Chains A and B, each alone.
Chain A
Amino acid sequence: MLGTDRREAGGEAEGAPAIIHVENLSFRYYGSEQYALRDVNLVVRRGEFVVLAGRSGCGKTTLLRCLNGLIPNFYEGEMLGRVLVDGMDTRYTPTHILSQAAGMVFQNPDNQLFALSVEADIAFPLENLGFPREIILERINWALKALKIEDLRYRSPFELSGGQKQKVAIASVLAMKPKILLLDEPTSSLDPVSARNLIESIVELNKREGLTIIISEHRLEHLLPHADRLIVMDRGMIVRDGDPRKILRDEDLLVYGVAPPKVSEVARCVNAHRGCLKFEEIPLTVHEFVEKVRRLIG
């Protein structure tokens, strides 16, 4: 499943209506002289899978906070420009309404879970918003199923592994039925198998539920094969935005603190030699790389 090419699987996003508009957005946190975001322009279409990369402190987290309204509603500062999420201007829309359009999952699931059972954790925001009991139960069932964690329903979040906790955190966001899922380095504290597993779940949500995904990450090798789009940020600005294969083919992203998958690096080195093998398309997985070599030698 992880080896499949995103475009073979569909690419529903192309031509889909835009769901996020970011227009000339700049933001400076209260008390800071530097702008964390500088004149960012961005349109995300419904169903797109977007990977945000760049150095620590480049503005990825700040941009995500702008997309679910935490900025400017929760974090104080100076905001220029505007952000429209599902047609709503974040400046004039309360966060509890915005969170039903764009849900956010953070780095550390421990900060997001607090109830005595997984079920209660998922139910909490819905109860808070006054949803009727039947709807709440229906949403819990759906969210648990979507993440394949039905078996965790009555467990205490505190006895779960890091990967399980992060799935519960996603389920509790998902229960609000958002159209957009924002994830801020969700795998950073997970071991490699749990991290890959979590990414598979996120890919499923994108494909099966048509959720728009915007995810920031440092480890790209399991994520890029599924991405429609790679956005690289540097010092508060978007410096690259496009098809990950093209971006990786054309330049070394290390100056932006981004480590491309090792197979892509090998392919770039092969191309630099101008020998008997040339990758027109930069491979993002071992499978893609090896298939190209097999085709060459027949």
Chain B
Amino acid sequence: MISFEDVEYVYPSGVKALDGVSLKIEKGEIVALMGENGSGKTTLLKHLNGLLKPTRGRVVVDGVDTRSATIAELARRVGLVFQNAESMFFSSTVWEEVAFALRNFGYDEMIVRRRVEWALNFMELGDYAESSPFLLSGGEKKRLALAIILAWSPEVIALDEPTTGQDQLQKEKLMQMIRLLKEQGRTIIASTHDVEFVAQLKPRIIVMRRGKVIADGGAEEILLNEDLLRSCNLLPPQIASLTRELGFIGIKPSLKHPREVAKELLDALSRIMRGG
């Protein structure tokens, strides 16, 4: 679905933000891009819809080399939600904001209405349908940006730090949304440093540092590797630290649900106490 082939990107200021990135992402994958601020995550996302084109190497999305396509062509395939959601709004109401892309793609007005309503309700913005997007709070703006993508549902969905400013219930909603989109065969790529969120979602994780991909693997493989995380200014999820510290009673490091960890702990303790 997506391939980066030895991609280098140098900003006009001379800063090399991507330094020989090669990776492949299949259709229907959920990928988390992790790494500290400035490691190249956002630059990588901007290559997906052609906002940025590689200085060297190439990016192919759904069979199309981004250098030979216009942003308008790529926009049909790739939806990018910026970290600063406000930068993408321009309509006078929340409802219009979500309807805009759908109308632009030529959907029938009845379908537009149904989809907008559904997406706004899913992201808990139904009450704000007639409000101005600019009057929403930070977290609400973010949800509006997600509602737009949800209504339109492009093949590839790129999210830049989607959990920033969201409370736990909204994060779980976001997780539901990501899984729902995956069910529909969409490919989701999200940059984030929210380790607790990633530990729960358990996607494939690509770790970046100074413009390079330094690790790529399953959630357990990456999030249980404390040295790797620390080298990128990330902290292990608390469950990972807890299970590691409980190693002295025979518990293995994991990202299991607190309920399962509690059970494992009690089993281990009763074995020890019986054995004396």
Shortest CB-to-CB span from B122 to chain A, Å, is 16
A269 to B263: give the CA distance in the assembly, Å. Answer: 8
Judge whether B167 and A258 touch: CB under 8 Å: yes
Chain B, residue nearest A190 (CB) = B37
- Which stretch of B19-27, B147-155, B179-187, B229-237 is in the interface? B229-237
Bound CA–CA A191/B233 (angstroms) = 7
Chain A residues 257-291 with CB under 8 Å of chain B are: 257-259, 261-263, 265-270, 272-273, 275-277, 286-287, 289-290
Q: How far is it, in angstroms, between the C-alpha of A270 and the C-alpha of B264 when the chains are bound?
A: 10
Q: Is the CB of A276 within 8 A of B165?
A: no
**Interchain CB contact under 8 A, A191 and B234:** yes
A24: interface (CB < 8 Å): no
Q: By the criterion of a CB under 8 Å from any partner CB, how many residues of chain B are at the interface? A: 43
Q: Which of A61, A188, A254, A286 contacts B169 (CB 8 A)?
A: A254
Alpha-carbon distance between A106 and B256 when the two chains are bound, in angstroms: 35
Q: Which one of A254, A258, A263 has the greatest number of beta carbons of chain B within 10 Å?
A: A263
> Using Cβ atoms and an 8 Å threshold, which residues of chain B touch A262?
196, 237-239, 242, 258
Q: Given known contacts A55-B167, A257-B168, A262-B242, is B249 in contact with A293 (CB within 8 Å)?
A: yes
Contact with A along B180-210 (1 / 0, CB 8 A): 0000000000000101100000000000000
In the complex, A191 Cα to B275 Cα: how many Å?
A: 45
Does A277 lie within 8 Å of B167, measured CB to CB? Answer: no
Judge whether A107 and B138 touch: CB under 8 Å. Answer: yes
Interface: A161 (CB within 8 A)? yes
Q: Is B261 an interface residue (CB 8 A)?
A: yes
* A254 contacts B168, C-beta separation under 8 Å: yes
Give the number of chain A interface residues (Cβ < 8 Å).
Answer: 46
For the complex, give the distance between the alpha carbons of A273 and B169 in Å. 26
* Structural contact, A275 and B266, CB atoms closer than 8 A: yes
Given the complex, which residues of A lie within 8 Å of B69, measured CB to CB? none
How far apart sit A194 and B232, CA to CA, in the bound complex (Å)? Answer: 11
Binary CB contact string for chain A from 185 to 202 against chain B (1 if under 8 A, 0 otherwise): 100111111101000000
Q: Counting CB contacts under 8 A, is A297 at the interface?
A: yes
Nearest CB of chain B from residue A285's CB, rounded to whole Å: 9
A202-246 near B? 1/0 per residue, CB < 8 Å: 000000000000000011010000000000000000000000000
Residues of B within 8 A of A218 (CB): 165-168
A277 x B265 contact (CB < 8 A):
yes
Digit string of B102-145 for contact with A (CB within 8 Å is 1, else 0)?
00000000000000000000000000000000000111100000
A interface, CB within 8 angstroms of B: 54-57, 61, 107, 161-162, 185, 188-194, 196, 218-219, 221, 254, 257-259, 261-263, 265-270, 272-273, 275-277, 286-287, 289-290, 293-294, 296-297
A56-B165, A262-B238 known; 15 new pairs, CB 8 Å cut-off, are: A56-B170, A107-B138, A191-B233, A194-B36, A194-B37, A218-B167, A257-B167, A259-B171, A259-B196, A269-B262, A275-B270, A287-B245, A290-B246, A293-B249, A297-B269
Q: What are some 18 contacts across the A-B interface (CB < 8 A)?
A: A55-B170, A57-B137, A57-B139, A191-B234, A192-B235, A193-B233, A193-B234, A218-B166, A221-B196, A259-B171, A269-B259, A269-B262, A273-B262, A275-B269, A275-B270, A286-B242, A289-B245, A294-B248
